[in-house]
Amino acid sequence: MKRINIIFGLIAVVSVFMLADDVAAQRKIITSKEYYEGVSRPGVKYYDKSRRVETTDETFANGMLTKSHFRVNEVLLPNRNRSYAKLTEGDKVTEVEQITIDHMQYNRKDNEPWTKVDLRKSGSGSGSGVSGGTSRQSSQYSVEATFINGRSVQLFEWLLVNGDGAELAFNEMRRWIGDDGLPYREEDVKGKLSPREETSKRVVTYEYDPNIKIEAPIK
């Protein structure tokens, strides 16, 4: 019970600072249902758009960046896709690029020569894993009207404090959703509390109907 009270107490303290920073923005505390309804609005409209999505994942230890993973995914409807990924860990850098046009897929790694494969003649598979456990956690959800790149959006935030294990951990999730129902930015920050220490951060940006070209790199 004491630990649960600590979790709720920390949520309250963090909330005070969050609200103090955004009084002018008129942040509103909402329910989990309102949060999920707000961030899930994109639906089919998202996939109906040509788009560029950039994702950066960073991992920290003792306040220092230890690993960075940058990814770009470009979709040019109706049948063209390009993805690029760059993983940096210490002095090691790995780059992977893939282009798909209709049924043809082109691949290369670390600037090696391109290879291609006819997807009609190849198989593919996927898998997933799950993990279970118990934890004590508390959440707070909020929304505020703001702007991003001159566009009117709703900023939805979810603050989660987890009391599992010997330390308290936090996860701050922010979603910028446009009045058109499309996502424009995401931020996820994870770390430890008391004292606060960020251990990972993810930033995702969305651009729609970009002026992009996706061509076959080899014949």
Mind listing the pLDDT tens digit for each residue in 113-172? 999 999 988 755 444 344 444 557 799 999 999 999 999 999 999 999 988 667 889 999
Q: What is the pLDDT of residue 44?
A: 55
Burial class (CB in 10 A: 0-12, 13-18, 19+), 156: buried
pLDDT over 80 (residue 72)? yes
102: helix, strand or coil: coil
- Asked if 163 and 6 touch (Cβ cutoff 8 Å), the reply is yes
Q: d(Cα 103, Cα 101) in Å, to the nearest integer? A: 6
Question: Which stretch of 43-52, 76-85, 205-214 has the lowest confidence by average pLDDT?
Answer: 43-52
User: What is the average per-residue pLDDT within 46-71?
Assistant: 95
Mean pLDDT, the chain, integer: 85
Q: What are the chain's domains?
A: 2-121+136-208 (2.50.20)
Q: d(Cα 28, Cα 9) in Å, to the nearest integer? A: 19
Q: What is the pLDDT of residue 66?
A: 96
What does the pLDDT look like over 57-67, one tens digit per residue? 999 999 999 99
Q: What is the pLDDT of residue 29?
A: 96
Give the residue, 42 or 143, on which the prediction is more confident. 143
Share above pLDDT 90 across residues of the chain, in percent, rounded to a whole number: 65
Confidence of residue 24 (pLDDT cuts 50, 70, 90): very low
Cα 9 to the center of its chain, rounded Å: 28
Tokens matching residue 36: 């999920």
Tell me 217's DSSP state: S
Confidence of residue 208 (pLDDT cuts 50, 70, 90): very high
Confidence of residue 13 (pLDDT cuts 50, 70, 90): very low
Q: What is the pLDDT of residue 47?
A: 85
Tokens matching residue 75: 């979709």
Confidence of residue 187 (pLDDT cuts 50, 70, 90): very high
Contacts of residue 192, defined as CB under 8 A and 6 or more positions apart, other chains included, come to 167, 168, 169, 170, 199
Q: What is the pLDDT of residue 83?
A: 97
Q: What is the pLDDT of residue 51?
A: 96
